[in-house]
Amino acid sequence: MSDTNEFKISQIVDNGLMIQMTLIENVTTEPISQKQMIIENVSKKLDSETKEQVMPLLEAILQAQPTIRMKSYQQTQITMSMPKKRYEHIGRPQVGDVLNIDLRKV
């Protein structure tokens, strides 16, 4: 099974002979607020009549709460080291550049 993913370089450490890169999966997600998650979950569990009565009250209660943004996806992170020659051979990518990595069991 092959799973090719894009990873964005978040950090590069150059110690002269070796290069260490930290890569984070290049996935763009829309942040979701805790308020939005609560309203959606309560809404799914109520029938329409109860929803009409409860939702205005719930929204009023949640209005007073601070908005907390939550990540909706856990990203894979990879840290790898390679000889400087190999790093130069792949084009000397910099922080913010995207690399394609093929992950599979062989």
What is the per-residue pLDDT for 90? 94
At 91, the amino acid letter reads G
pTM of the model: 0.57
Per-residue pLDDT for 37 more than 90?
no
Within the chain, what is the greatest distance between any pair of CA atoms? 69
Closest CA to 38 of 17, 57, 23, 25: 57
**3-state DSSP call for residue 106?**
coil
Residues 6+ apart with CB under 8 A from 74: none
The length of the chain in residues reads: 106
Q: How confident is the model at residue 34 (pLDDT cuts 50, 70, 90)?
A: confident
Per-residue pLDDT for 65 more than 80?
no
Q: How far apart are CA 102 and CA 68, in angstroms?
A: 35
In this structure, the strands spanning 98-103 and 3-14 are antiparallel
Of 82-86, 89-93, 102-106, the poorest mean pLDDT is in 102-106
